[in-house]
Amino acid sequence: MKAYSQLIRNLVHASESLIYRYPVGEHSYYAVRGRADDREWLVIFDAQGVLETAFPPNDMDKYLNSQGFEYLGTVGEILP
């Protein structure tokens, strides 16, 4: 669990990680896409910043497109 938590911290603090908005009805979730352990990971938070899940999709682009994620920018651009 400690390694999983550290992986998530590293992903969300990496300036090159990508941020997306995931609209679900009237609510928005936010996701951070980044690389760790030679795989792309997706970390999803609710609008209050509570971690929902983190996982490495088999096909990241296909997953993001099929779920309607909207690209917002990099961590470095949005959270300097």
Question: How many independent structural domains does the chain possess?
Answer: 1
Global pTM value: 0.92
Cα R_g (the chain), whole angstroms: 12
The per-residue pLDDT for 1 is 86
Residues 4-50 pLDDT 10s: 999 999 999 999 999 999 999 999 999 999 999 899 999 999 999 99
Instruction: Show the domain range for 32.
Output: 2-78
